[in-house]
Structure 1
Amino acid sequence: MTNPTSNLPISGVFCASATPILEDGTPDHSAFAAHCHALLQDGCDGIALLGTTGEANSFSIAQRQALLEQVIAAGIDPQRLLPGTSQTNVADTVTLMRHAVEAGVKATVVLPPFYYKGVSDEGLFRFYAEAIEGVGRDDLRVVLYHIPPIAQVGLSLELVGRLLEAFPGIVVGIKDSSGKLDSMQAFASSFANFSVLAGADPFMLPLLRSGGAGCITSSSNLIGKHLRVVFDHWHDPAEAARVDKAQERINAWRDLSNAYVQLPTIKAMLARRRNHPGWTRVRPPLVELGQAELDKVWSQMAELEAQDNV
């Protein structure tokens, strides 16, 4: 049975990957490459590196470029990568986007400029238009990034429609991290041949049923195998029980990842999963979990892993 998402420009389970950090505060290229290989083995279709979960805005442009270059050098197919390429100004955004396209990535994920609040759709259109035109390549593919809870600058249906009209074949999708299913469904129903990707794991299944394309999520750092089951079988009535069970596991793991501040918690969970204590490090202004919190998270992880094996 053919998956209904197969004709969309981008579809599947993409991990909003966390970034391991060395003691000097720079990205740990070796640990990151190993993590990316493990994510693909776990069932992820690709990796959306250097997004919110990847602490992109806590790294320099050079550090971001180097992380992308090194993970490709470590054997990850660039066509499985969706790097975040946003800055609050057009010039630096163009630099990151062009570098990613030249590296051969599948698409770039582009936040709106988020420093100024209350800006107009016209201003946001000009930002995206200048960035796309500044790259000036027909092989550029852009996934818009709608995350108003963090950026405090959202993307309207009208703006997305205007960008699709102005840049057909270049603007190909949107990651919706609004936390609102009706927002995701509105994007999916409003635009044909447009990939709408859920930014939170529990929303992938209902979004797929509404014409969505999959997900880019933080918990997929840990539960790619469960998301794989849902994505591959959601449309097959004969697999309904299997899908429901996988969705239950997804929700349980997501709940644990939100037990404390999400990003340090995800990294604490990865420290246990990868048997690498350095994964707990985060960049300022984030702060890692304390030992009592680590102990509690790791204990609950053990319980979830036991339940996964039942």
Structure 2
Amino acid sequence: MGNHKQFGIFAAMTTPFREDGTIDVDKLVAHARACIAAGCTGISTFGTTGEGPSIGAAERRMLLDALRSGGIDGTQIVPGIAASAIDDAVAHARVAAEFGCRALLVTPPIFYKDVGVAEVTDWFAAVVERTPADGPGYILYNIPQVTGVKVARETVAALKTRFPGRIVGVKDSSGDWVNALGMLQSFPDLAILIGDERVLDKGVRLGAAGAISGVANFRVDLLNDVMAGKPASPALGPLVEAIVAHPATPAVKALVGHLSGDIAWRRVRPPLRALSDAEARHLGRRYDELFAKVDA
């Protein structure tokens, strides 16, 4: 991965769907190119915002191939993996390795909730040891409010020791600043990525390497300013508050639709529910209010 301090801002990219539920591949590639043109270091596909657990193996390969054909280099892509079966996680990791992806963003197993630190560590170890040593490194993804399972510092430390050089980062999306701070203090040699944009500025001051961010789908400029050491925009925190007042993935998609003028972006796959017209309009108005002065 190179110098972890140079990770930067990756868009936690949304996935556009057609009316029949299939992925709009051309729109996805165009959005990826637009994110990078706007200043994203790269994109993260198949993550939480990208509805990754709802995207199958054949679709993943097709999309990575389309992104490559569209001029997106593998080093600009961090695919997400959220699985329970070790075989599934390994299969996804091997596909990412074929495309030369920069790293893998991997959650703990997403079904079993009553497992401890040792068991989570064993699961990650089983995945890592079955994937190519020269393949993409692993960014461990801590988002316990979604997975029900925490990535503990003990897990990170144990995997780092067992697989030197294979564990390259941690994305902390727990919303728990104390936990993020502990990761920053414990693992200065890893790329610690902040999932909650509201505390990115605090993280950057303490050595955070960047973020994989839903906001970067449409306002990477705000996050790049923070990475450059500038004060966070006064609109950034309220923007995130407005997003998380709804289920976050449909809300991000609604804002992409609002700003592009294409409400088809609001479509999600079951079991998610798209924002209603009224909810989407309200969120769009809130965005416009927040940025009327900022963008003037």
**TM-score between the two structures when normalised by the length of structure 2:** 0.95
Aligned pairs for 1:232-247 within 5 A: 232=228, 234=229, 243-244=230-231, 246-247=232-233
Q: CA deviation at 1:259?
A: 3.3
Aligned to 1:256: 242
Is 1:177 aligned to residue 173 of structure 2?
A: yes
Output one character per residue of 1:140-179: Cα deviation in whole Å (capped at 9) or x when no partner: 3110000111111001111110000011111100100110
Aligned pairs for 1:200-219 within 5 A: 200-219=196-215
Count the aligned residue pairs. Answer: 295
Is 1:32 aligned to residue 32 of structure 2?
A: no
Aligned to 2:289: 303
Percent same amino acid at aligned positions? 33
Aligned to 1:279: 265
Aligned to 2:106: 110
Q: C-alpha distance in 2, partners of 1:101/1:113?
A: 20
Q: C-alpha distance in 1, partners of 2:122/2:245?
A: 39
**What's the C-alpha RMSD, in Å, of the aligned pairs?**
1.5
Aligned to 2:144: 148
Aligned to 1:89: 85
Aligned to 2:65: 69
Q: C-alpha distance in 2, partners of 1:208/1:112?
A: 25
Structure 1 counterpart of 2:87, one-letter code: A
Q: CA deviation at 1:69?
A: 1.8
Q: CA deviation at 1:48?
A: 1.2
Q: C-alpha distance in 1, partners of 2:86/2:166?
A: 17
Aligned pair partner of 1:131 in 102, 127, 130: 127
Q: C-alpha distance in 1, partners of 2:203/2:87?
A: 34
Aligned to 1:100: 96
Show structure 2 runs of 5+ residues with no match: none
Contact 1:9 1:193 (8 Å CA) reproduced: no
Aligned to 1:238: none
**TM-score between the two structures when normalised by the length of structure 1:** 0.91
- 3-state SS, counterpart of residue 71 of structure 2: coil
Output one character per residue of 1:157-216: Cα deviation in whole Å (capped at 9) or x when no partner: 111100000111111001001101111111111123111100111111101112211111
Label 1:54 to 1:173 Cα distance change in 2 as closer, same or farther (>3 A).
Answer: same
Q: C-alpha distance in 2, partners of 1:138/1:82?
A: 16
Q: C-alpha distance in 2, partners of 1:185/1:300?
A: 31
Q: CA deviation at 1:130?
A: 1.4
Contact 1:83 1:107 (8 Å CA) reproduced: yes
Aligned pairs for 1:2-17 within 5 A: 7-8=3-4, 11-17=7-13
